[in-house]
C-alpha cells in the first residue's frame, strides 16, 4: 500500500466520520454550525486562505464596484453559511426526502411545463449552475420517476468518488464523467433521455463570450452544440433554500423553479450557438439574483479575459 492510497483512505475515513455527525444534526444545530464556520472564514482566517478577495471581486463585478464593504462581507458570510448547510443537506437528502413528505419540503414553480417537456419523448437538458442546492433538484426528479444522466468530474480520491456516485444514483440517476463517458452521453441523448449539467463554468479561450452580470464570460459551446445536434429542449432551473420561517422545523424548505425553457427547433437566430448560450446565461443570472448569497462566488467565473477586439483598418482613398 503506497502513501497515496493511505492518504485517500485517511481522507475517506475522516469524511465518513463527518457524514455520521452530519446525519445527527437538526436544522437548528446546522444553522449554528454554519454560522460558526462562516465567522471563522470571514473574520478569523487570513483572507488569502478563504479566497475572500476573489469572492469580493466577483460580487463587485456583478453588483457594482461601489457596493459597500459591509454588504460585500454580508454576502460572503451568507455564502459560507449556505455552503455548510448545503453539505449537511446533501448528506441528509437520501434519508429525509421521501414521496410522503416532499410537498412539505419543496415548492416546484413551473412544474407542469417541465413535466410536459420530459414527457415529449425528445432529449431534455436540465441546466443549472453553482447555485442553491442542485442535489435537492436531483432527488426530486428521481423520486417522481424521472431518472437523469449527470455530468460530473471524477474526483481525485476514488473512495470519495464512489460515495458520491452511490449517493447520486440512489434516486435512479446515472453519473457520466466529463472525460471518458462521451459514448454513454451520446446513447442517452439519441434515446431521448434527460441530462443534468451545470452551465456556469469558465470555458477558457475556446469558449464563446457572453455577458454574465454585464461582463463577458467565457462559456462552453458544447451545451448549445449538443442541444442543436439532438434537437433537445433546454430547461434552465434552480433550487434555492427558502427563509427559515419556523426555527423548530425538522427540515428546510426549497423552491425548485423553471427560469427558462429553450426549444432549439423554434430558434431563428443567425448564430444559434450564441443565442442559446446567451439565453441560458441570462436565465441563470436571473435565478442567482433571487438569492445571491447562495451562489458560489469564490468560483473564478471571469477567469479568462475576452480577446481584444479586432483592429478596424481602413484604406484611405486619395
* Tens-binned pLDDT, residue by residue, of the chain (318 aa): 688 899 999 999 999 999 899 988 988 999 999 999 999 999 999 999 999 999 999 999 999 999 999 999 999 999 999 999 999 988 887 777 777 778 888 889 999 999 999 999 899 999 999 999 877 787 788 888 888 998 888 888 999 989 888 887 878 888 888 776 677 889 999 999 999 998 999 999 999 999 999 999 999 999 999 999 999 999 999 999 998 876 566 778 899 999 999 999 999 888 999 999 999 999 999 999 999 999 999 999 999 999 887 643 433 444
Q: What is the pLDDT of residue 315?
A: 39
Beta strand segments in 110-253, E: 124-128, 149-152, 174-177, 194-198, 208-212, 215-219, 233-241
In the chain, DSSP assigns E strands to 106-109, 124-128, 149-152, 174-177, 194-198, 208-212, 215-219, 233-241, 254-263
d(CA 99, CA 82): 25
The C-alpha atoms of residue 128 and residue 200 are separated, in whole angstroms, by 8
Query: From the CB of residue 29, how many other CB atoms can be counted at a distance below 10 Å?
Result: 11
Place of cell 465518513: 16
Q: What number of H helices and E strands is found in the chain?
A: 12, 9
pLDDT, residue 289, reads 97
pLDDT score for 176: 86
- Give Cα 306 distance to the centre of its chain: 23
- Measuring CA to CA, which residue among 305, 301, 310, 258 is closest to residue 283? 258
User: Quick one: which of 216, 200, 183, 223 has its CA closest to 306?
Assistant: 216
Q: What is the pTM of this model?
A: 0.89
Please choose, from the candidates 143, 270, 283, 140, the residue with its C-alpha nearest in 3D space to the C-alpha of residue 199. Answer: 283
pLDDT at 249: 67
Amino acid at each position: 500500500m503506497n502513501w497515496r492510497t493511505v492518504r485517500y483512505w485517511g481522507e475517506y475515513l475522516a469524511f465518513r466520520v463527518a457524514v455520521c455527525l452530519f446525519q445527527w444534526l437538526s436544522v437548528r444545530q446546522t444553522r449554528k454550525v454554519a454560522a460558526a464556520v462562516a465567522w471563522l472564514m470571514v473574520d478569523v482566517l487570513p483572507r488569502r486562505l478563504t479566497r475572500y478577495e476573489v469572492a469580493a471581486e466577483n460580487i463587485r463585478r456583478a453588483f457594482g464596484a461601489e457596493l459597500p464593504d459591509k454588504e460585500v462581507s454580508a454576502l460572503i458570510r451568507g455564502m459560507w453559511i449556505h455552503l455548510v448547510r448545503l453539505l449537511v443537506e446533501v448528506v441528509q437528502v437520501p434519508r429525509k426526502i421521501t414521496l410522503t413528505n416532499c410537498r412539505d419540503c419543496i415548492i416546484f414553480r413551473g412544474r407542469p411545463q417541465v413535466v410536459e417537456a420530459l414527457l415529449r419523448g425528445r432529449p431534455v437538458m436540465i441546466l443549472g449552475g453553482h447555485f442553491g442546492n442542485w442535489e435537492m433538484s436531483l432527488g426530486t426528479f428521481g423520486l417522481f420517476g424521472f431518472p437523469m444522466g449527470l455530468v460530473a468530474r471524477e474526483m481525485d480520491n476514488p473512495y470519495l468518488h464512489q460515495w458520491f456516485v452511490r449517493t447520486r444514483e440512489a434516486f435512479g440517476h446515472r453519473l457520466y464523467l466529463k472525460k471518458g463517458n462521451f459514448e454513454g452521453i451520446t446513447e442517452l441523448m439519441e434515446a431521448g433521455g434527460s441530462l443534468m449539467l451545470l452551465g456556469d463554468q469558465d470555458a477558457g479561450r475556446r469558449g464563446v463570450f457572453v455577458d454574465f452580470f454585464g461582463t463577458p464570460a467565457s462559456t462552453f459551446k458544447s451545451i448549445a452544440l449538443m442541444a442543436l445536434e439532438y434537437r433537445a429542449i433546454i430547461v434552465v432551473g434552480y433550487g434555492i433554500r427558502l427563509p427559515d420561517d419556523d426555527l423548530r422545523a425538522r427540515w428546510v424548505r426549497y423552491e425548485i423553479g423553471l427560469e427558462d425553457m429553450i426549444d432549439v427547433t423554434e430558434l431563428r437566430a443567425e448564430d444559434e450557438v450564441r443565442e442559446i448560450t446567451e439565453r441560458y446565461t441570462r436565465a441563470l443570472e436571473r435565478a442567482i439574483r433571487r438569492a445571491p448569497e447562495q451562489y458560489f462566488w469564490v468560483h473564478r467565473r471571469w477567469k479568462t479575459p475576452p480577446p481584444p477586439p479586432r483592429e478596424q483598418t481602413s484604406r484611405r482613398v486619395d
